[in-house]
Amino acid sequence: MITLDKDHIYRDSAGRVVPGVTGIIRACGLMDSTGWSDYARDRGTAVHKAIELYERGTLDSRSLSPVVVPYLDNWIAFKNQTGYRCIETEKRVYHKLYRYAGTLDQIGEMQGRSCVLDIKTGAYQRWWALQTASYNGVVKCQDRYSLELRGDGWKLHKHENKNDWRVFQACLTVAGWAA
């Protein structure tokens, strides 16, 4: 069993620190954090929480910040327009062989196929493909997607490059060496 503490550190059942997917990719210098801000991070966290509660059927829409409402509306529009169905949300994953962990936004189904879906509230970045590959290394879905969710719409990115998994494994090696 993997736990996640308040400092966003994953630990295995023996209490040992397990590297997280995002930290692994960051250690390789593949994330462009230009333009990232506390506001954007907090907005993304709030949007993720609203979607999680919506999918669990426990969202009180009256409690939403006006900033979050258009993102949730566009989440619902995405689902209606694509037929996407959420199966699991905010799933903690752990790869026993490679010893890394992460929190997968969603496992779902679209067009009759299982998929990993990672939800983003920022502009597209190439490393998103590595992130979905790392999660799929554990859950083994048929397809991988990143959903670029914005206040004014959404854009779905399908990740099909089989090399994404190998690149993530290389990141895992480099991050382990750099630690």
What would the pLDDT profile of 22-68 be if each residue is shown by its tens digit? 999 999 999 887 777 889 989 999 999 999 999 999 999 999 999 99
What length is written for the chain? 179
Instruction: Tell me what the mean pLDDT of segment 150-176 comes to.
Output: 95
The more confidently predicted of residues 35 and 21 is: 21
pTM: 0.93
CA–CA separation, 68 vs 121, rounded Å?
A: 11
Instruction: Tell me what the mean pLDDT of segment 153-165 comes to.
Output: 97
Q: Angle 165-125-51 (CA atoms, 0-180°, nearest 5)?
A: 90
Q: What is the pLDDT of residue 105?
A: 97
Instruction: Tell me what the mean pLDDT of segment 121-138 comes to.
Output: 96
Residue ranges per structural domain of the chain? 3-178
Q: What is the pLDDT of residue 71?
A: 97
User: Which secondary-structure segment (H or E) carries 137?
Assistant: helix 127-139
CA–CA separation, 80 vs 165, rounded Å?
A: 30
Q: What amino acid occupies position 33?
A: S
Average model confidence (pLDDT) across the chain:
94
Q: Which CATH number fits domain 3-178: 3.40.190.150, 3.90.320.10, 3.40.50.720, 3.30.70.100?
A: 3.90.320.10
The burial of 49, by beta-carbon neighbours within 10 Å (0-12 exposed, 13-18 middle, 19 or more buried), is given as middle
Q: What is the pLDDT of residue 36?
A: 78
pLDDT exceeds cutoff 60 at 106: yes
Q: What is the pLDDT of residue 173?
A: 92
CA–CA separation, 66 vs 79, rounded Å?
A: 21
Q: What is the pLDDT of residue 179?
A: 57
